[in-house]
Structure 1
Amino acid sequence: MPYPLKSGVERSEGLQSSLRSNAFSVLVVDDLEVNRLLLARLLQSVGYIAETVPDGESALARLERLPLPDLIVLDLEMPGLSGLETLRHLRQGRLPAAADLPVFIATGNVEESMPEAALAAGADGFFRKPDDLMDMVKAIGQLLSEPRSRRP
């Protein structure tokens, strides 16, 4: 079952129609190596540049240097900084250059309140692993195909 996206972001119907020919970069943040590899390969298979880090602290450290990724895919449950804590650091301006980057949550967490909590914290979309991963890739394509000025 697809979960909500931030207002203004819609799920697209076709994967290829949602992608642009130029390569966008996506930072994948997940504590489980198998999940990082799976997401990175899935994103690379449709033309994205995927970079991975194992936790929230590493994500924030990576976002201190240029070039910034075009989008972040963030797991919720990680040791150290959780995904929600990492997202809050971003949205509260800890790293001003990265404060407005689109962030999609990809999690195995099954709590019913999680989608709303993630969106309230500033996520641009919420997806369950592994069921919603193709929907997430489509939504990434749709969001990144929008001019920056029209993105949420």
Structure 2
Amino acid sequence: MDKKIIESLSQTQAGIALFDENERIVFANPAWEQLISGVAEEDLIFNETELSDGGMISICLVKPLALPAERPDNAQPDGKEAAGTVIIADDSESNRMVARRILQTEGYSVIEACNGQAVLNILKRGITVDMILMDVEMPDMDGLHTTRRIRHMAGPVSHIPIIALSAHQTRDWNIIARQSGVDEFINKPIQRQKLIETMRQLITRYVDTDPAFNAPETSGKRSKSTRIGRPPRPETLTWPVLDVDILEQLYSDAGDVGARCGIEIFINETENRLVKIDRALSENDMATVRKEVHALKSTSGTFGLRQLSELCETTQSAFEDSEPDESRLLSLSRQVVLLAPAALTALNLYHRSRSISSISNG
């Protein structure tokens, strides 16, 4: 598959994934991963087409929201920018559905998470988030523990407004929640008017106290790049995703069998390495991130992934600065995690197409 096609698929807003004949995923663009992990299945439309080699391409889109016939007085007018993006964290699908419908009719974009770890995973990927509705009691990682983890993260993401939701209606729970770092506390079941009013008050309070909102700008409006959780602009990369000349030289030097084995080992190693980087980012373990990025820099260049190698080199240089910029380090590291799957897919597709070509010519 031409590298331009892969790059286009990686940038499209539709979710696209490619599976092989054994139903193993071989490519997924960032939009597909975000939709699958962040949107309820009943709100997605899937279109799956079987390929001639037994594989399958899956495309998913978000269903249009069926708004009521009469638009609420406080809803967003047509043509206006979305009110913001809100994470709803709750292990109850029905609770998430209720909150999602309330927020969507108010003009908010919604990302769903079933536990605290899912929330951290969303944030570490650099997804823009303006507020979190956090259920207190969730499996694996509860809301208060998750809030404490967020408050210790580096950069603007640590200041995201968080509203705790709980069926406990005692003053002690309210105090405990606020001591954990939440900004407001709402009792369940959720009441629409109470939720919307609390969100508006919290946003107003944040606007009044956050310097990012009050800094002078030539346009007189707040820049999108200063929205809560928005990572710095991605680094400009000069090399292509896949350098075919390097791969062809590898096949020439190591032979077809040696090159194929090397590529397969590299792909498996890199997938494991990305898991380590991903986990280290969620745990703020930057020493592990630095170690894995350093290793990935050299190996990715060997197998023709020039763009990934360049990004890793930039990231490594940022680590070696005398006074490292922590926000930039996090941004670069997240970019590595986002770029690597597309790069591996390009390598795997080239590897498979060359193997098929060899069999045909043989």
Into which bin does the TM-score normalised by the smaller protein fall? 0.7 to 0.9
The answer to whether residue 191 in structure 2 is matched with residue 107 in structure 1 is no
Greater fraction helix: 2
Q: Which has the higher contact order (CA 8 A, sep 6+)?
A: 1
The answer to whether residue 73 in structure 2 is matched with residue 73 in structure 1 is no
1:18-51 CA-to-partner distances (Å, cap 9, x unmatched) read x895421110000000001110111111111111
Partner residue of 1:138 out of 194, 197, 204 = 197
What is the TM-score when the length of structure 2 is the normalising length? 0.35
1:61 CA displacement? 0.4
1:95-151 CA-to-partner distances (Å, cap 9, x unmatched) read 544211000011112343111111111111000011544212212123335663525
The answer to whether residue 107 in structure 2 is matched with residue 47 in structure 1 is yes
Q: Which residue of 2 aligns with 1:57?
A: 117
What is the TM-score when the length of structure 1 is the normalising length? 0.78
Gaps of 5+ in 2: 1-72, 211-362
Q: 1:96 & 1:81 partners in 2: Cα distance?
A: 22
Q: 2:189 & 2:206 partners in 1: Cα distance?
A: 29
Gaps of 5+ in 1: 1-14
Identity between Structure 1 and Structure 2 (%): 27
* More displaced 10-residue stretch of structure 1: 37-46 or 134-143: 134-143
Q: One-letter code of the match for 1:141?
A: R
Q: 2:126 & 2:98 partners in 1: Cα distance?
A: 25
Kindly report the root-mean-square deviation, in angstroms, between the aligned alpha carbons of the 2 structures.
2.5
Q: Are 1:68 and 1:98, in contact at CA under 8 Å, matched by a contact in 2?
A: no
Q: Are 1:127 and 1:133, in contact at CA under 8 Å, matched by a contact in 2?
A: no
Q: 1:88 to 1:146 in 2, by over 3 A?
A: closer
Q: Which residue of 2 aligns with 1:38?
A: 98
Residue 171 of structure 2: SS of its match in structure 1? coil
Q: 1:147 to 1:107 in 2, by over 3 A?
A: closer
Q: 2:189 & 2:138 partners in 1: Cα distance?
A: 17
Equivalence map 1:82-93=2 (5 Å)? 82-93=142-153
1:16 CA displacement? 2.8
Q: Which residue of 1 aligns with 2:181?
A: 122
